[in-house]
A and B are shown apart, each in its own frame.
Chain A
Amino acid sequence: MKGIVFTEFIEMIDDRFGLEVTEHIISHSKTLKTGGSYTAVGTYPHGELVEMVSLLSQKTGIEVKALLEAFGEYLFGVLVKSYPSLMEPIRGLFDFLQKIEDYIHVEVRKLYPEAELPTFKTALSEDEKELTMIYESERAMVDFGVGLIKGSSKHFSEEVTISTKDLTPDQSGKKVEIKVRKLN
Chain B
Amino acid sequence: MDPLELYKNRYEREKVARKEAEKLLEEKSLELYKANQELSILNESLEKIVRKRTQQLKKTNEELEKFTYISSHDLKTPLRSISHIAHWIEEDYDTESKEEVLKNIQLIKSRVLRMENLINGILEYTKIGKEKSVPAMVDVEQLANEICEYESSRNEYTYIVSHDLPMIYTYRIQLFNIFSNLISNGIKHNNKVEKKIFVKCKKLEDRLYEFSVEDNGTGISEMYHDKIFDIFQTLERKGDNETIGVGLSIVKKLIDDNGGSIRVESEKNKGAKFIFTWYESED
Q: Which residues from A are CB-within-8-Å of B18?
A: 39
Select which of B7, B16, B24 is within 8 A of A37 by beta carbon: B16
Q: A20-B1, A23-B1, A23-B6 are in contact. Are A41 and B21 (CB under 8 A)?
A: yes
- Please, how many residues of chain A have a CB less than 8 angstroms from a CB on the other chain? 16
> Which residue of chain A has the shortest Cβ distance to B22 in the bound complex?
A39
Q: Which residues from B are CB-within-8-Å of A42?
A: 17, 20-21, 24
The reply to whether the CB of A82 lies closer than 8 angstroms to some CB of chain B is no
- Per-residue A-contact encoding for B31-61, CB less than 8 Å = 1, 0 else: 0000000000000000000000000000000
Q: A23-B1, A23-B6 are in contact. Are A36 and B21 (CB under 8 A)?
A: no
Does the CB pair A26–B20 fall under 8 Å?
Answer: no
Select which of B1, B16, B25 is within 8 A of A35 by beta carbon: B16
Does the CB pair A35–B13 fall under 8 Å?
Answer: yes
A36 to B12, CA, bound (A): 10
Q: A20-B1, A42-B24 are in contact. Are A34 and B16 (CB under 8 A)?
A: yes
> Which residue of chain A has the shortest Cβ distance to B16 in the bound complex?
A37
Does the CB pair A39–B20 fall under 8 Å?
Answer: yes
The reply to whether the CB of B14 lies closer than 8 angstroms to some CB of chain A is yes
Q: Separation in Å of the A29 CB from the closest CB of chain B?
A: 12
Does the CB pair A37–B14 fall under 8 Å?
Answer: yes
Does the CB pair B10–A38 fall under 8 Å?
Answer: no
Main secondary structure on B side of the interface with A: helix
A19 to B5, CA, bound (A): 11
Select which of B1, B13, B25, B28 is within 8 A of A36 by beta carbon: B13
Within 8 A of A (CB), among B145-185: none
A116 to B134, CA, bound (A): 47
A87 to B25, CA, bound (A): 26
A36 to B17, CA, bound (A): 9
Q: Which residues from B are CB-within-8-Å of A36?
A: 13
> Which residue of chain B has the shortest Cβ distance to A27 in the bound complex?
B9
Q: Which residues from A are CB-within-8-Å of B10?
A: 19, 22-23
Within 8 A of A (CB), among B177-235: none
Q: Which residues from B are CB-within-8-Å of A40?
A: 21
Q: Which residues from B are CB-within-8-Å of A7?
A: 17
> Which residue of chain B has the shortest Cβ distance to A38 in the bound complex?
B17
A41 to B27, CA, bound (A): 11
A-B contact pairs, 24 of them (CB 8 A): A7-B17, A19-B6, A19-B7, A23-B9, A23-B10, A26-B9, A27-B9, A34-B17, A34-B20, A35-B13, A35-B16, A36-B13, A37-B13, A37-B15, A37-B17, A37-B20, A38-B17, A39-B20, A39-B21, A39-B24, A40-B21, A41-B24, A41-B25, A42-B20
Q: Please give the residue numbers on chain B whose beta carbons come within 8 Å of chain A beta carbons, in ascending order.
A: 1, 6-7, 9-10, 12-18, 20-21, 24-25, 28
